[in-house]
């Protein structure tokens, strides 16, 4: 029989860096902490939700440093990360509705997406095209 081992994080370097960033904040080494949280918030191998938390940590560090405008921009960055996932899911839902002859419902979802802040120009163009296509199908 083998000894039971605790589950290891799939990203041990993430765990270590996160704890290191928190320790740096506690030690008052804010510039170093900001670099740790900035790097973590930009890591493409991390889930967007995790990256959002790291961005909020970064915004908190910027606030402690007195960089309020940068903190605000960092909160906006975190919001953008969340919206990307949400937007992707909503676009899939609208496409599903459209493909199942529910164009009016699809249009409603697409219009809801257009009301979101922080959309890229490409996303806006794609959704506007989809709405136009769905309206044409309704006619």
The 8-class DSSP code of residue 116 comes to S
Token digits for 82?
């969340």
16/63 Cα distance (integer angstroms):
23
Q: Is pLDDT at 5 greater than 70 in this prediction?
A: no
pLDDT digits (tens, 9 = 90+) for 30-66: 999 999 999 999 998 998 889 999 999 999 999 999 9
CA dist., res. 11 & res. 44, Å (int): 13
Q: What's this model's pTM, rounded to 2 decimal places?
A: 0.69
pLDDT score, position 82: 84
């Amino acid at each position: 029989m083998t000894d039971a081992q605790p589950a290891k994080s799939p990203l041990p370097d993430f765990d270590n860096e996160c704890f290191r960033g928190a320790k740096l904040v506690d030690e008052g080494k804010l510039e170093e902490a900001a670099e740790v949280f900035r790097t973590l918030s930009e890591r493409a191998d991390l889930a967007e939700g995790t990256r959002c938390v790291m961005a909020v940590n970064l915004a908190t560090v910027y606030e402690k440093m007195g960089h309020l405008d940068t903190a605000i921009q960092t909160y906006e960055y975190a919001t953008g990360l969340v919206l990307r996932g949400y937007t992707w899911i909503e676009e899939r839902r609208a496409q599903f509705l459209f493909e199942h002859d529910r164009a009016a419902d699809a249009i409603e979802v697409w219009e809801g997406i257009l009301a979101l802040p922080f959309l890229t120009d490409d996303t806006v163009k794609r959704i506007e095209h989809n709405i136009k296509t769905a309206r044409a199908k309704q006619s």
